[in-house]
Amino acid sequence: MSTWINNNNGLKDLCDQLADSQLIALDTEFIRTDTYYPKIALIQLSDGETIWLVDVLGVDDFLPLKKLLESPDNTLIFHACAEDLEVLDHAINIQPTQIFDTQIAAGIVNIGYSMGYARLVDSLLDIQLDKQETRSNWLARPLTQRQLDYATVDVLHLHSLYSILVEMLNQQDRFKWFEEETKGLFKVVDQRKNNQDYYTRIRGAWRLDAQSLTTLRHLCRWREALSRSKDVPKSRIAKDNVLFDIAKKMPRSKKQLHSIDDWHPGSIRRYGELVLKEIEVSLSQNHDAWVPQPLSSSLNAIAKNIRKLLVKIAEEQKIPQEFLANKRELEDILRSSQQGQYQLPDRIKQGWRQQWVQPAIESELSKANLTCEP
């Protein structure tokens, strides 16, 4: 059972009630299918005994909630909270700082990397959850009983998971590891706000010549700004592959735009002239856009050897290999080595990874006569 809160007074009373709660379980329900920005619909809160469902659509004064959730005296228990933090920040200007993410903790204690909530509850509590309402319309009112039950369950077990995972972190002497990963999470969430270099993520962008790559960067930034201003998904304006094709072919007329693969005629009518103008603007920009090429066969061989070492370390230290170093990090390190001296990211040179990951990487790179930048 849960209590429904759908007005300012009710939310204020709830926040007063929870003010002294040191542990608050939290989840959000939102929709992002037809908009650029996520539309928050529901906030679920629990003190470990009672669950409240806050109807965001019925509230317009979130200051009491902001004070509660941003208080350094309250730890918020989430599961996989990156999107929750994003939606809370954008929709109601709330930026929690004291969090405990059960997904991160589960990885640190070697239960599983990036494990979903239902699987974690099943693994630690032997409870099977029904997750059928994940993609339902959370902005509809009234919500169905199945939706209410689903929303309730999302915070029902977080306190239990917290207790088990904290004990495991302490038993394994890995709580500092967990705190380090949590700080890294805040950096990741903050970086997601910046899409100025989105063009580097587009498949095959490295194949473009200097002018086309410059145009692709400009078109991606134009689409980003337009999507935000219109609050529509980027794909509604033009998909990534469409922008790539435009940058590759560099059309100069509306007729040529119709040769672009996968761009709907309606979108061409709506945005075609704008795109042609943006292409023209891009011609006068500096050709300083850059996308790394795939690793050479020799560097790929080194990467493969490093991954083998990391797998061995992961097995010895009983931690998911994905936590040690990700593919992007290894590729960046190896690309930096092409300049004569490779660079290691801070999270490998510092913290708990340093004693295992740094020596493993350096040992393989030294075999190739590569040295680390001081």
Which range, of 23-32, 256-265, 330-339, averages the lowest pLDDT? 330-339
Residues 361 and 353 sit within 8 Å (Cβ to Cβ): no
pLDDT tens readout for residues 336-373: 887 767 889 999 999 999 999 999 999 998 887 776 76
Same fold, 198-282 and 297-372: yes
Average pLDDT value for the chain: 94
**pLDDT exceeds cutoff 70 at 151:** yes
SS3 content of the chain, % helix, strand, coil (to 5): 55, 10, 35
Q: What is the pLDDT of residue 73?
A: 95
What's the CATH superfamily of 198-282?
HRDC domain (1.10.150.80)
Residue 195: band (very low, low, confident or very high) from pLDDT cuts 50, 70, 90 = confident
Per-domain residue ranges for the chain?
3-191, 198-282, 297-372
Q: What is the pLDDT of residue 336?
A: 86
What's the CATH superfamily of 297-372?
HRDC domain (1.10.150.80)
**pLDDT exceeds cutoff 70 at 302:** yes
Residues 267 and 238 sit within 8 Å (Cβ to Cβ): yes
Helix, coil or strand: residue 5: strand
**pLDDT exceeds cutoff 70 at 23:** yes
Q: What is the pLDDT of residue 3?
A: 97
The order of strands in the sheet holding 23-31 is 3-5, 51-55, 39-46, 23-31, 75-78, 99-101
C-alpha distances out from residue 14 to 72, 283, 310, Å:
18, 57, 48
Q: What is the pLDDT of residue 167?
A: 98
Which range, of 23-32, 77-86, 220-229, 333-342, averages the lowest pLDDT? 333-342
Residue 374: band (very low, low, confident or very high) from pLDDT cuts 50, 70, 90 = low
Q: What is the pLDDT of residue 133?
A: 63
pLDDT tens readout for residues 131-146: 666 678 999 999 999 9
Q: Is the CATH code 3.40.50.920 the one for domain 3-191?
A: no
Q: What is the pLDDT of residue 134?
A: 67
